[in-house]
């Protein structure tokens, strides 16, 4: 487990009412940075724990470094405990459907009256506007925000290969929370912070919107776009592997020609500038393909790395477990997944003063920290045991 001293958000207390990916992303980032994050779950636990298939990785990835409090929020006593916790908190996170938290008595208007310093972060499908009451998912946002259109070939919209909008929306939520914490130092008051899937998607495709504004031409989907660079695609190697190679400047073009003994290309005025090379791309690319097919994947990458040119093997997620850079640099952190096995998952992709952020608390069992959280909130042992006996709270190992 990581050293707990001097973490940037040490002393910040967060109450998390979330599920799935977007809300938990806010919590895990704040937790990795040192905040105390209390994840409030129903007595049966967050339903995300029980997802299968492509959802089976959600809970392990986005819930480390958190404490689990299993609490029946639909009971009067459970709601009262939630209010006690909120009075002591700096931040609340939620990502349920619009109106859900209000119905539970946990909306911003109620909680801000209990704690005027509270920063309340809502992760939603849409910000305020005509769509704000719609239910959205990552895929919904990618489809309607233009990202799926840009990702797939023409006529075949395709979502990105991970929950990229959920995670990005969570990151914007964290930015809002940190900004609100800073502003609170001046005003003494908290505020309502909101980020959303749809607007996060549109921010991502903003470069394509700007392209249209500048050129008057709609952006083509990425698989058929006119590349900004002549060499910028995936190539086959002699051993039937694939490597992406990019040559994105005139300086890199010179290095490329030098590396592969192509002095005639380097000295040809027809290839002198990137713009000229792009115009002649249909002639250039077949020759580069033939050239790269003479090399094995390893030999090609070694040559490109030696010359300092951009390249990438086409890797699969499961290959990241053994990636030498990640394993040697601390880019993966050890966790215990639900079956009791140990695994390693991506650390927060951030360093501060050369320090990475690790695991202080393994993935929690349902209600694993219920007793400690309630004790710290001021409840005595007799009351905690009574609440557990009546099913208002669940203590780990106690049904």
Q: What is the pLDDT confidence band of residue 225, given thresholds at 50, 70 and 90?
A: confident
E strand or H helix at 105:
none
CA–CA–CA angle 73, 26, 336 (5° rounding): 85
Helices (H), 220-296: 250-259, 263-267, 274-279, 281-292
Judged against a pLDDT cut of 90, whether residue 4 lies above it is answered with no
Which residue intervals of the chain bear CATH 3.40.50.10540?
13-204+330-394
In the prediction, which pLDDT does 315 show? 97
Residue 5 is predicted with a pLDDT of: 63
Range list for CATH 3.30.1540.10 in the chain: 227-315
The predicted structure's pLDDT at residue 338 = 87
Reduced to 3 states, what is the DSSP secondary structure of residue 168?
helix
**What are the tokens at 297?**
């994947």
DSSP 1: -
Token output for 28: 């895990």
Quick one: which H or E segment has residue 17? strand 13-17
**Mean pLDDT calculated for residue range 216-233:** 92
Instruction: Considering only the C-alpha atoms of the chain, give the largest distance between any 2 of them, rounded to a whole number of Å.
Output: 86
**Residues 156-173 pLDDT 10s:** 999 999 999 999 999 999
Q: Which residues contact 347 (CB under 8 A, 6 or more apart)?
A: 32, 330, 331, 332, 333, 356, 357, 358
- Nearest 10 degrees: Cα torsion 112, 114, 116, 118: -70
Q: pLDDT-based confidence at 2, cuts 50/70/90?
A: very low
Indicate the pTM of the whole model. Answer: 0.95
Q: With contact defined as beta carbons under 8 Å apart, do 34 and 7 qualify?
A: yes
Q: Which helix (H) or strand (E) holds 84?
A: helix 76-87
Pairing of strands 36-41, 66-71: parallel
E strand or H helix that includes residue 247: strand 242-247
17: confidence class by pLDDT, cuts 50, 70, 90: very high
Q: Say how far apart CA 313 and CA 235 lie, in whole Å.
A: 10
Beta bridge partners of 324: none
Structure tokens at 146: 């233009």
Contact 189, 44 (CB under 8 A): no
Catalytic residues: 166
Q: Are 92 and 119 in contact (CB under 8 A)?
A: yes
227-315 homologous superfamily: formyl-coa transferase, domain 3 (3.30.1540.10)
Measured distance CA(203)–CA(384) in Å, rounded: 46
Q: How far is CA 144 from CA 122, 158, 209, 335, in A?
A: 21, 12, 14, 36
Is domain 13-204+330-394 annotated with CATH 3.30.420.80?
A: no
Q: Which two tokens stand for residue 140?
A: 């919904």
In the chain, % of residues over pLDDT 90:
96
Q: How far apart are CA 372 and CA 387, in angstroms?
A: 14
Give the residue carrying structure tokens 């689990």. 68
Q: How confident is residue 265, by pLDDT bands cut at 50, 70 and 90?
A: very high
Q: Which of 39, 59, 62 is nearest to 48 (CA)?
A: 59
Count the neighbouring beta carbons within 10 Å of the beta carbon of residue 293.
14
| The pLDDT value given to residue 399 | 47
Q: What is the mean pLDDT of residues 336-362?
A: 96
Higher pLDDT, 396 or 18: 18
pLDDT (tens digit per residue) in 80-133: 999 999 999 999 999 999 999 999 999 999 999 999 999 999 999 999 999 999
Q: Considering only CA atoms, which of 261, 262, 258, 279 is closest in space to residue 270?
A: 279
Confidence of residue 389 (pLDDT cuts 50, 70, 90): very high
pLDDT at 14 exceeding the cut of 80: yes
The structure tokens listed for 202 are 């549109």
Residues 191-206 have pLDDT tens digits of 999 999 999 999 999 9
């Amino acid at each position: 487990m990581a050293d707990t001293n001097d973490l940037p958000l040490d002393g910040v207390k967060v109450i998390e009412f979330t599920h799935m990916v977007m809300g938990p992303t806010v919590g895990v980032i704040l937790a990795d940075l040192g905040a105390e994050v209390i994840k409030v779950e129903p007595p049966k636990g967050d339903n995300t724990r029980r997802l299968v298939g492509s959802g089976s990785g959600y809970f392990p990835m986005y819930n480390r470094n958190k404490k689990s409090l299993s609490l029946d929020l639909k009971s009067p006593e459970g709601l009262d405990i939630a209010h006690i916790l909120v009075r002591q908190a700096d931040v609340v996170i939620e990502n349920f459907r619009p109106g859900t938290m209000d119905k539970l008595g946990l909306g911003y208007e109620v909680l801000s009256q209990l704690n005027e310093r509270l920063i309340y972060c809502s992760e939603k499908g849409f910000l305020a506007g005509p769509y704000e009451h719609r239910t959205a998912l990552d895929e919904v946002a990618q489809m309607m925000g233009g990202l799926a259109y840009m990702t797939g070939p023409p006529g075949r919209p395709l979502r990105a290969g991970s929950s990229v909008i959920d995670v990005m929306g969570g990151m914007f939520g964290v930015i809002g929370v940190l900004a609100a914490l800073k502003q609170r130092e001046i005003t003494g008051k908290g505020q309502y912070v909101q980020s959303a899937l749809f607007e996060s998607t549109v921010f991502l495709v903003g470069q394509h919107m700007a392209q249209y504004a500048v050129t008057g031409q709609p952006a083509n989907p990425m698989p058929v776009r006119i590349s900004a660079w002549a060499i910028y695609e995936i190539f086959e190697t002699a051993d039937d592997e694939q490597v992406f190679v990019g040559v994105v400047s005139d300086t890199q073009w010179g290095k490329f020609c030098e590396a592969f003994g192509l002095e005639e290309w380097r000295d040809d005025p027809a290839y002198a500038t990137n713009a000229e090379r792009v115009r002649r791309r249909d002639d250039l690319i077949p020759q580069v393909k033939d050239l790269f097919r003479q090399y094995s994947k390893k030999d090609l990458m070694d040559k490109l790395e030696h010359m300092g040119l951009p390249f990438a093997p086409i890797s699969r997620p499961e290959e990241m477990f053994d990636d030498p850079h990640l394993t040697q640099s601390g880019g993966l952190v050890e966790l215990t997944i639900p079956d009791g096995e140990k695994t390693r998952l991506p650390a927060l992709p951030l360093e501060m003063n050369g320090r990475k952020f690790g695991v202080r608390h393994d993935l929690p069992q349902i209600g694993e920290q219920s007793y400690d959280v309630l004790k710290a909130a001021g409840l005595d042992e007799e009351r905690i045991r009574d609440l557990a006996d009546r099913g208002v709270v669940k203590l780990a190992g106690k049904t």
